[in-house]
Structure 1
Protein backbone atom coordinates (compact mmCIF):
# COMPACT_ATOMS: atom_id res chain seq x y z
CA UNK A 1 0.00 0.00 0.00
CA UNK A 2 1.17 3.54 -0.71
CA UNK A 3 3.14 4.92 2.27
CA UNK A 4 1.61 8.41 2.05
CA UNK A 5 -1.90 6.91 1.99
CA UNK A 6 -1.03 4.96 5.14
CA UNK A 7 0.20 8.16 6.78
CA UNK A 8 -3.07 9.94 5.97
CA UNK A 9 -5.12 6.99 7.24
CA UNK A 10 -3.05 6.93 10.41
CA UNK A 11 -3.57 10.67 10.94
CA UNK A 12 -7.30 10.31 10.23
CA UNK A 13 -7.58 7.83 13.08
CA UNK A 14 -5.02 9.07 15.60
CA UNK A 15 -5.95 12.78 15.60
CA UNK A 16 -9.60 12.22 16.61
CA UNK A 17 -8.42 9.51 19.03
CA UNK A 18 -6.14 12.06 20.69
CA UNK A 19 -9.01 14.50 21.26
CA UNK A 20 -11.49 11.83 22.34
CA UNK A 21 -8.92 10.22 24.64
CA UNK A 22 -8.11 13.57 26.23
CA UNK A 23 -11.79 14.22 26.83
CA UNK A 24 -12.27 10.75 28.32
CA UNK A 25 -9.34 11.21 30.70
CA UNK A 26 -10.46 14.63 31.90
CA UNK A 27 -14.20 14.26 32.34
CA UNK A 28 -16.64 12.17 34.35
CA UNK A 29 -16.37 8.40 34.00
CA UNK A 30 -19.14 5.83 33.66
CA UNK A 31 -21.66 8.05 31.88
CA UNK A 32 -23.38 7.04 28.65
CA UNK A 33 -21.21 9.56 26.80
CA UNK A 34 -18.06 8.08 28.34
CA UNK A 35 -19.06 4.56 27.33
CA UNK A 36 -20.00 5.55 23.78
CA UNK A 37 -16.95 7.74 23.21
CA UNK A 38 -14.80 5.06 24.84
CA UNK A 39 -15.91 2.52 22.25
CA UNK A 40 -15.19 4.99 19.44
CA UNK A 41 -11.79 5.73 20.99
CA UNK A 42 -10.95 2.04 21.31
CA UNK A 43 -11.93 1.38 17.69
CA UNK A 44 -9.86 4.34 16.48
CA UNK A 45 -6.85 3.18 18.48
CA UNK A 46 -7.13 -0.40 17.16
CA UNK A 47 -7.36 0.94 13.61
CA UNK A 48 -4.45 3.32 14.03
CA UNK A 49 -2.25 0.62 15.60
CA UNK A 50 -3.09 -1.77 12.77
CA UNK A 51 -2.31 0.87 10.16
CA UNK A 52 1.07 1.62 11.75
CA UNK A 53 2.05 -2.03 11.52
CA UNK A 54 1.76 -1.67 7.73
CA UNK A 55 4.12 1.33 7.76
CA UNK A 56 7.80 0.42 7.60
CA UNK A 57 10.20 2.02 10.04
CA UNK A 58 12.21 4.93 8.67
CA UNK A 59 14.70 5.41 11.50
CA UNK A 60 16.87 3.34 13.77
CA UNK A 61 17.35 -0.42 13.87
CA UNK A 62 14.90 -2.42 11.78
CA UNK A 63 13.65 -5.98 12.26
CA UNK A 64 12.72 -7.98 9.15
CA UNK A 65 13.46 -4.92 7.03
CA UNK A 66 10.20 -3.36 8.29
CA UNK A 67 9.60 -3.08 12.06
CA UNK A 68 11.25 -0.51 14.32
CA UNK A 69 11.07 0.32 18.01
CA UNK A 70 8.03 2.55 17.44
CA UNK A 71 6.04 -0.55 16.41
CA UNK A 72 6.23 -1.73 20.02
CA UNK A 73 3.66 0.96 20.83
CA UNK A 74 1.33 -0.56 18.23
CA UNK A 75 1.65 -3.91 19.97
CA UNK A 76 0.98 -2.21 23.32
CA UNK A 77 -2.25 -0.77 21.92
CA UNK A 78 -3.33 -4.03 20.25
CA UNK A 79 -2.93 -5.80 23.60
CA UNK A 80 -4.16 -3.10 25.99
CA UNK A 81 -7.35 -2.03 24.21
CA UNK A 82 -8.99 -5.49 24.32
CA UNK A 83 -7.68 -5.98 27.87
CA UNK A 84 -9.26 -2.67 28.90
CA UNK A 85 -12.55 -3.56 27.24
CA UNK A 86 -12.68 -6.95 28.95
CA UNK A 87 -11.79 -5.35 32.28
CA UNK A 88 -14.60 -2.80 31.89
CA UNK A 89 -17.07 -5.57 31.06
CA UNK A 90 -15.97 -7.42 34.22
CA UNK A 91 -16.33 -4.17 36.18
CA UNK A 92 -12.60 -4.24 36.99
CA UNK A 93 -12.29 -0.46 36.85
CA UNK A 94 -8.68 -0.39 38.11
CA UNK A 95 -7.45 -2.68 35.30
CA UNK A 96 -9.56 -0.78 32.76
CA UNK A 97 -8.14 2.55 33.91
CA UNK A 98 -4.54 1.33 33.93
CA UNK A 99 -4.81 -0.16 30.44
CA UNK A 100 -6.44 2.96 29.01
CA UNK A 101 -3.89 5.28 30.59
CA UNK A 102 -1.18 3.05 29.09
CA UNK A 103 -2.81 3.29 25.67
CA UNK A 104 -3.07 7.07 25.89
CA UNK A 105 0.41 7.70 27.28
CA UNK A 106 2.24 5.05 25.25
CA UNK A 107 0.14 4.87 22.12
CA UNK A 108 -0.55 8.56 21.69
CA UNK A 109 1.78 10.76 23.74
CA UNK A 110 5.07 8.85 23.58
CA UNK A 111 4.61 7.38 20.10
CA UNK A 112 3.38 10.79 18.92
CA UNK A 113 6.48 12.46 20.33
CA UNK A 114 8.65 9.98 18.41
CA UNK A 115 6.64 10.66 15.24
CA UNK A 116 7.66 14.34 15.38
CA UNK A 117 11.38 13.65 15.81
CA UNK A 118 13.81 14.94 13.15
CA UNK A 119 14.06 12.57 10.20
CA UNK A 120 10.42 11.52 10.40
CA UNK A 121 7.78 12.53 7.88
CA UNK A 122 5.60 14.49 10.33
CA UNK A 123 8.63 16.49 11.46
CA UNK A 124 9.41 17.46 7.85
CA UNK A 125 5.76 18.38 7.21
CA UNK A 126 5.50 20.52 10.34
CA UNK A 127 8.94 22.12 10.37
Structure 2
Protein backbone atom coordinates (compact mmCIF):
# COMPACT_ATOMS: atom_id res chain seq x y z
CA UNK A 1 0.00 0.00 0.00
CA UNK A 2 1.30 3.41 -0.99
CA UNK A 3 -0.41 6.06 1.13
CA UNK A 4 2.15 8.64 0.01
CA UNK A 5 0.43 8.77 -3.38
CA UNK A 6 -2.87 9.52 -1.66
CA UNK A 7 -1.25 12.12 0.62
CA UNK A 8 0.26 13.83 -2.44
CA UNK A 9 -3.06 13.95 -4.32
CA UNK A 10 -4.96 17.21 -4.50
CA UNK A 11 -7.34 17.98 -1.62
CA UNK A 12 -10.39 17.58 -3.89
CA UNK A 13 -9.25 14.08 -4.87
CA UNK A 14 -8.65 13.20 -1.22
CA UNK A 15 -12.12 14.43 -0.23
CA UNK A 16 -13.74 12.70 -3.22
CA UNK A 17 -12.00 9.43 -2.37
CA UNK A 18 -12.79 9.52 1.35
CA UNK A 19 -16.45 10.29 0.67
CA UNK A 20 -16.67 7.46 -1.87
CA UNK A 21 -15.03 4.99 0.53
CA UNK A 22 -17.38 6.15 3.28
CA UNK A 23 -20.35 5.60 0.96
CA UNK A 24 -19.16 2.06 0.21
CA UNK A 25 -18.97 1.26 3.92
CA UNK A 26 -22.32 2.88 4.59
CA UNK A 27 -23.86 0.89 1.72
CA UNK A 28 -22.94 -2.36 3.45
CA UNK A 29 -24.54 -1.16 6.68
CA UNK A 30 -27.70 0.06 4.97
CA UNK A 31 -28.19 -3.20 3.10
CA UNK A 32 -28.01 -5.04 6.43
CA UNK A 33 -30.75 -2.90 8.03
CA UNK A 34 -34.47 -3.42 8.11
CA UNK A 35 -35.79 -1.24 5.30
CA UNK A 36 -37.92 1.72 6.27
CA UNK A 37 -36.68 1.84 9.85
CA UNK A 38 -35.69 5.21 11.34
CA UNK A 39 -32.02 4.14 11.26
CA UNK A 40 -32.36 3.15 7.60
CA UNK A 41 -33.73 6.62 6.85
CA UNK A 42 -30.98 8.47 8.72
CA UNK A 43 -28.24 6.36 7.18
CA UNK A 44 -29.94 6.63 3.79
CA UNK A 45 -29.99 10.43 3.92
CA UNK A 46 -26.33 10.39 4.99
CA UNK A 47 -25.54 8.13 2.02
CA UNK A 48 -27.46 10.38 -0.39
CA UNK A 49 -25.56 13.45 0.83
CA UNK A 50 -22.23 11.63 0.59
CA UNK A 51 -22.98 10.41 -2.94
CA UNK A 52 -24.09 13.89 -4.01
CA UNK A 53 -20.82 15.32 -2.68
CA UNK A 54 -18.85 12.57 -4.47
CA UNK A 55 -20.62 13.39 -7.74
CA UNK A 56 -20.27 17.16 -7.29
CA UNK A 57 -16.60 16.95 -6.32
CA UNK A 58 -15.86 15.05 -9.54
CA UNK A 59 -16.40 18.27 -11.51
CA UNK A 60 -13.17 19.63 -9.99
CA UNK A 61 -11.22 16.51 -10.98
CA UNK A 62 -10.12 16.98 -14.56
CA UNK A 63 -7.17 14.69 -15.22
CA UNK A 64 -8.95 12.77 -17.98
CA UNK A 65 -9.94 15.39 -20.54
CA UNK A 66 -12.08 14.32 -23.48
CA UNK A 67 -14.38 17.29 -24.04
CA UNK A 68 -12.67 20.40 -22.75
CA UNK A 69 -12.07 19.87 -19.04
CA UNK A 70 -14.55 17.00 -18.86
CA UNK A 71 -14.63 13.26 -19.45
CA UNK A 72 -17.32 10.56 -19.66
CA UNK A 73 -17.11 10.14 -15.87
CA UNK A 74 -18.67 13.59 -15.54
CA UNK A 75 -21.73 12.33 -17.42
CA UNK A 76 -21.98 9.57 -14.80
CA UNK A 77 -21.86 12.28 -12.12
CA UNK A 78 -24.80 14.07 -13.71
CA UNK A 79 -26.74 10.80 -13.98
CA UNK A 80 -25.91 10.07 -10.33
CA UNK A 81 -27.26 13.42 -9.17
CA UNK A 82 -30.47 13.04 -11.18
CA UNK A 83 -30.96 9.46 -9.97
CA UNK A 84 -30.40 10.47 -6.35
CA UNK A 85 -33.20 13.03 -6.60
CA UNK A 86 -35.46 10.55 -8.39
CA UNK A 87 -34.79 7.81 -5.86
CA UNK A 88 -35.46 10.04 -2.86
CA UNK A 89 -38.65 11.21 -4.55
CA UNK A 90 -39.69 7.58 -5.07
CA UNK A 91 -39.06 6.77 -1.40
CA UNK A 92 -41.04 9.82 -0.25
CA UNK A 93 -43.94 8.71 -2.47
CA UNK A 94 -43.68 5.18 -1.02
CA UNK A 95 -42.71 3.74 -4.39
CA UNK A 96 -40.44 1.18 -2.77
CA UNK A 97 -39.89 -0.85 -5.94
CA UNK A 98 -38.54 2.16 -7.90
CA UNK A 99 -36.51 3.42 -4.92
CA UNK A 100 -34.90 0.01 -4.42
CA UNK A 101 -34.12 -0.44 -8.13
CA UNK A 102 -32.58 3.02 -8.46
CA UNK A 103 -30.49 2.70 -5.30
CA UNK A 104 -29.13 -0.66 -6.42
CA UNK A 105 -28.34 0.85 -9.81
CA UNK A 106 -26.46 3.70 -8.12
CA UNK A 107 -24.48 1.31 -5.93
CA UNK A 108 -23.54 -0.79 -8.94
CA UNK A 109 -22.84 2.01 -11.43
CA UNK A 110 -21.57 4.86 -9.29
CA UNK A 111 -19.67 2.91 -6.64
CA UNK A 112 -18.70 -0.49 -8.06
CA UNK A 113 -18.18 0.25 -11.78
CA UNK A 114 -16.86 3.80 -11.43
CA UNK A 115 -14.81 2.77 -8.40
CA UNK A 116 -13.41 -0.15 -10.35
CA UNK A 117 -12.06 2.21 -13.01
CA UNK A 118 -9.95 3.94 -10.34
CA UNK A 119 -7.97 0.70 -10.02
CA UNK A 120 -6.79 0.77 -13.65
CA UNK A 121 -3.04 1.26 -14.17
CA UNK A 122 -2.06 4.91 -13.98
CA UNK A 123 -4.98 5.83 -11.71
CA UNK A 124 -4.57 6.81 -8.05
CA UNK A 125 -6.22 3.80 -6.39
CA UNK A 126 -4.11 1.48 -8.52
CA UNK A 127 -1.01 3.25 -7.23
CA UNK A 128 -2.24 3.33 -3.63
CA UNK A 129 -3.38 -0.29 -3.37
CA UNK A 130 -1.44 -2.14 -6.08
CA UNK A 131 1.76 -0.11 -6.33
CA UNK A 132 2.90 2.30 -8.98
Same topology, TM > 0.5: yes
Partner of 1:62: 66
Number of aligned pairs? 122
TM-score by length of 2: 0.85
Runs of 4+ more than 6 Å apart: none
Partner SS for 1:118: coil
Work out which structure has the larger RCO, using CA pairs closer than 8 Å and 6 or more positions apart in sequence: 2
Once the two structures are superposed, what CA deviation does each residue of 1:64-113 show, in whole Å capped at 9, x if it has no partner? Answer: 1x211222321221111111111110001111111111111111000000
TM-score by length of 1: 0.89
Matching residue within 25, 30, 40 for 1:24:
30
In the alignment, structure 1 segments of 5+ residues that lack a partner are none
Partner of 2:107: 104
Instruction: Measure, in 1, the Cα distance between the counterparts of 2:98 and 2:42.
Output: 19
Q: Output the aligned Cα RMSD.
A: 1.4
Matching residue within 33, 45, 51 for 1:45:
51
Matching residue within 78, 84, 88 for 2:87:
84
In the alignment, structure 2 segments of 5+ residues that lack a partner are 1-8
Alignment of 1:72 onto 2:91: no
